[in-house]
Amino acid sequence: MLAIAVADTVRPEAKRAIEALGRMRLRTVLLTGDTRAVADAVARSLGIGEVEADLLPDEKLARIRTLKAQGRSVAMLGDGINDAPALTEADVGVAMGSGTDVARESADVVLLGNDLVCFVDTLVIARRTRRIIWQNFAGTILVDVVGIGLAAVGILNPLMAAFIHVASEMAFILNSARLLPAADRESTGPAVRKTEAQALAKSA
């Protein structure tokens, strides 16, 4: 008896990406339409502990909804037609650049190329962006509180108010500018956020 087993080849950078996600304390789950044997083999090679195999598109969609119902924020990575419903349902749908047109149109973020490390880079940059936004927000509140306090005691004059305003705005701009060299240094492959024009074209 002749038996032929066929399975996708795991990309060498995929394991590095999964390990990086683990260091970021993110839970990874493999949802696939492949058979259980193939899925388990891939999961073992990547170090993924949670695997669900033999899934149809609607079953992937159900898994995403279940995770969201548990209060989790879900990012779904996919590249095939059968991933499209789950990509749409996830909080953030991420499609690989070499994926199908349907997957790319259904996703919120499209990675250029097939390197999963690009997704890790995207998360790192997004987290740094959020942190800088919160720093600037907190700084704005602090400056306003100080200004109100100085004005209440009669210390704040127009010249001082103008100086505080300009100095604080410059500080926030410089703080935001720290993101640019960090993004260039840490990103090995860019991710493209869909523009409003693309979104409008999709709904038209």
Categorise residue 54: left if φ over 0, alpha if ψ from -120 to 50, beta otherwise. Answer: left
Give the model's pLDDT for residue 10: 76
Assess whether pLDDT exceeds 70 at residue 196.
Answer: no
pLDDT band at 151 (very low <50, low <70, confident <90, very high): confident
For 70-76, the CB contacts below 8 A with 24+ separation are: 72/27
77-88 pLDDT per residue, tens: 998 889 999 999
Whether the per-residue pLDDT at 183 is higher than 80: the answer is no
Position 191 pLDDT exceeds 90: no
CA 117 to chain centre: 12
Q: What's the token pair of residue 46?
A: 């990547």
Right CATH for 12-118 from 3.40.50.300, 2.130.10.10, 3.40.50.1000, 3.30.310.40: 3.40.50.1000
How is residue 197 written in tokens? 């024009």
Q: Please state whether the predicted TM-score (pTM) of the whole model is above 0.75.
A: no
Flag the least confident range among 5-19, 53-67, 108-122, 141-155.
5-19
Given a cut of 50, whether residue 11 has pLDDT beyond it is yes
178 membership: H or E segment, kind and range:
none
**Residues 6 or more apart from 172 whose CB is under 8 A from it?**
136, 139, 140
Domain ranges of the chain: 12-118, 120-188
Q: Is the pLDDT of residue 171 over 70?
A: yes
Q: What's the confidence (pLDDT) of residue 202?
A: 41
In whole angstroms, what is the distance from residue 197 CA to residue 183 CA?
25
CA-based end-to-end distance of the chain: 54
CA-closest candidate to residue 47, choices 19, 68, 27: 19
pLDDT exceeds 70 at position 8: no
Over residues 30-45, the mean pLDDT reads 90
In the predicted model, what is the mean pLDDT of residues 100-109? 89
Confidence band for 195, pLDDT divided at 50, 70 and 90: very low
Q: How confident is the model at residue 161 (pLDDT cuts 50, 70, 90)?
A: confident
Beta bridge partners of 191: 111
The confidence score (pLDDT) of residue 141 equals: 93
Question: If residue 119 lies in a helix (H) or strand (E), which one and from where to where?
Answer: helix 117-152
Q: Percent of the chain beyond pLDDT 90?
A: 45
Identify each DSSP E strand in the chain by its residue range.
29-31, 50-52, 75-78, 92-96, 109-111, 191-193
pLDDT grade, residue 115 (50/70/90)? confident
Give the orientation angle of helix 12-23 with respect to helix 36-46, to 10 degrees. Answer: 70
User: What rounded mean pLDDT belongs to the chain?
Assistant: 83
